[in-house]
Structure 1
Amino acid sequence: MDRAVDAANLGAAAAGLSPLDLFLHASIVVKLVMLGLIGCSAFVWAIIVEKFILIRRVNREATEFEDRFWSGGSLDDLYESDGAKPLHPMAAVFGAAMGEWRRSARISGVDLARGGVRDRVDRAINITIAREMERLSRRVLFLATIGPVAPFVGLFGTVWGIMHAFGSIAAMHNTNLAVVAPGISEALFATAIGLVTAIPAYVAYNVISGALDNFAERMEAFGTEFAAILSRQSEERS
């Protein structure tokens, strides 16, 4: 008989353990924690999707631009079509370097082969790369913040929920599984949501950061090669 009663209690407890039921029966504080974590999770996934699309697009645009750059066409024509009003980071690096070099060439009496022009071109390239990487990295720091913080926020909801559950158990003077399980499950559900929020954020931060670092190195390599080309052209003109 006791086993039959325990089975009935277990079935009654399990019937109310769906995610929606766990949320609806949680205390107001735990509900706020859950809603906050769910909102953060939605924002995390929005950032992940946006950054993956962005990184794929800028790499494709960089490849197309480098194909045009190394095709042997006129740098002045390429500057007018892509560099003057750049639409992607690689073109912005090219436009900054070419623009600085052309401004120096227009100054009467300037020796294009001397180090000062090369230094200004290098500085323009570095500043442009830093600005473009700052733009590409926007909101990525949110992923780095949510990754370690979300589990602790969920744990706070769990601790609060367990305290609330034990208070309810003490008030009812009943420790049957049907009474204990829902309250404990509601509390633990907050930690589960915290982990579901944190794990994608942590993984995505590492993947996106690595992809952005690779793209930054790609721009730096292009900038170094282009600065060397401009330096050689300066020596030929002088």
Structure 2
Amino acid sequence: MNMSPFRASRCLILALAMLSLASPLSAQQAPPPAPKQVPAPTQAQAPPAPAAVAPVQAPASPAAAPSAEPAPQAIAAPADSESKPLKSTSTGMHELSPWLMFMSADVIVKAVMIGLAFASLVTWTIFIAKMIELTVVQNKLRGALAKISDARSLAEAQFALGAKGSVLSSFIAAAMREGRLSAGISSDSGIKERAASSFAEIMRSEARRIRLGMGLLATIGATSPFVGLFGTVWGIMNSFIGISKSQTTNLAVVAPGIAEALLATAIGLVAAIPAVIIYNHFSRVTKGYLELVSRASGAAGRLLSRDLDRTHGEVPRARAAAE
């Protein structure tokens, strides 16, 4: 088949154009070669591809994704800058610790805080001492009442108690003394009345002894909040004076002075709340102990009454035997 030279040249140009279009597409579909393995001739062939590469630049957008990777570094930078204020905030909180606030407080506020701390120490000392004392005396009195439960006279009760001192021993000793002093008196009611008067004095003395320290607890619980409030008012006045001198209302200048003043009220509450709770607790325990003391008084009175009846019953028998 014969072709004209013009037609043959057109076919050749079309074939070359198709080959030039196919080569860039195959190059894009293939994985990108390493920079070191790129042959030099490909760099020379790159210039004739502008016409064919122009329509294929749209899928080249994934290649631009690596350029967005530095963005996280730009976002991380503000986090580093925000970490500095956090450190300064934590440092400020450390500077406002209770000890440093106490050291930087006014002399009057310091005196108030020291007084309240001493009052709190006194409260806990009284609590420990009274708890031990009440436990010991209650156990001792219960044991003494159990020992004389079967006694028939004051002498037997005194022998059963022995030398152990307790309030019951005081009641029995007072009853025996009254019976001895009233020897020869036939009026039993008078002897019992005088013995009951002695028992009442012993009960009042025991109540005063066992309530020792309770008044101090009541005073601490009632006055500590007001003492702390006085320290707070004094500290706030000094803070306002400092604000007027510095001529600024910045919170960093105002907050430390107010915090130091409020610390006095906090210590006052720390001293007052335990004092009130301990006072109420000991009021209940003391009331129970005084009920035991009242039982001991009644037991001694009954023993005295038996002795008196026995004595007056023996006198008529002696007279009848003499006649």
Q: Which ranges of structure 2 fall in alignment gaps of 5 or more residues? A: 1-77, 313-323
- 1:95 — aligned with what? 173
Matched, 1:145 2:219: yes
- 1:226 — aligned with what? 300
- Between stretches 22-31 and 63-72, larger displacement belongs to 63-72
2:96 to 11, 14, 17: 17
- Between stretches 51-60 and 167-176, larger displacement belongs to 167-176
The change in CA–CA distance for 1:11 and 1:166 in structure 2 (over 3 A counts) is farther
- 1:119 — aligned with what? 193
Question: 1:191-220: per-residue Cα shift (whole Å, max 9, x none)?
Answer: 011001011111111111121122112111
Matched, 1:48 2:122: no
2:114 to 35, 40, 49: 35
Matched, 1:70 2:144: no
The change in CA–CA distance for 1:183 and 1:225 in structure 2 (over 3 A counts) is same
Distance (whole Å) between structure 1 residues aligned to residue 87 and residue 233 of structure 2: 28
- 1:180 — aligned with what? 254
Question: 1:31-55: per-residue Cα shift (whole Å, max 9, x none)?
Answer: 0000111111111111111111111
Distance (whole Å) between structure 1 residues aligned to residue 219 and residue 302 of structure 2: 40
Q: CA deviation at 1:8?
A: 6.5
Q: CA deviation at 1:12?
A: 4.2
- 2:239 — aligned with what? 165
Distance (whole Å) between structure 2 residues aligned to residue 217 and residue 16 of structure 1: 55
- 1:130 — aligned with what? 204
- 2:52 — aligned with what? none
Q: Which ranges of structure 1 fall in alignment gaps of 5 or more residues? A: none
- 2:71 — aligned with what? none
Of the two structures, which has the highest relative contact order with CA contacts closer than 8 Å and spacing of 6 or more? 1
Q: Report the 3-state secondary structure (helix = DSSP H, G, I; strand = E; otherwise coil) of the residue aligned with 1:70.
A: helix
Distance (whole Å) between structure 1 residues aligned to residue 282 and residue 141 of structure 2: 17
Identical columns (%): 35
- Between stretches 138-147 and 70-79, larger displacement belongs to 70-79
Q: CA deviation at 1:89?
A: 2.5
Q: CA deviation at 1:221?
A: 2.2
TM-score by length of 1: 0.87
1:213 to 287, 294, 299: 287
Q: CA deviation at 1:175?
A: 2.9
Contact residue 82 and residue 95 of structure 1 kept, 8 A: no
Distance (whole Å) between structure 1 residues aligned to residue 276 and residue 175 of structure 2: 36
2:138 to 45, 55, 59: 59
Distance (whole Å) between structure 2 residues aligned to residue 194 and residue 179 of structure 1: 25
The change in CA–CA distance for 1:164 and 1:9 in structure 2 (over 3 A counts) is farther
1:189 to 229, 240, 263: 263
The change in CA–CA distance for 1:124 and 1:58 in structure 2 (over 3 A counts) is same
Distance (whole Å) between structure 2 residues aligned to residue 100 and residue 114 of structure 1: 11
Q: CA deviation at 1:237?
A: 1.8
- Between stretches 134-143 and 95-104, larger displacement belongs to 95-104
Q: CA deviation at 1:103?
A: 3.2
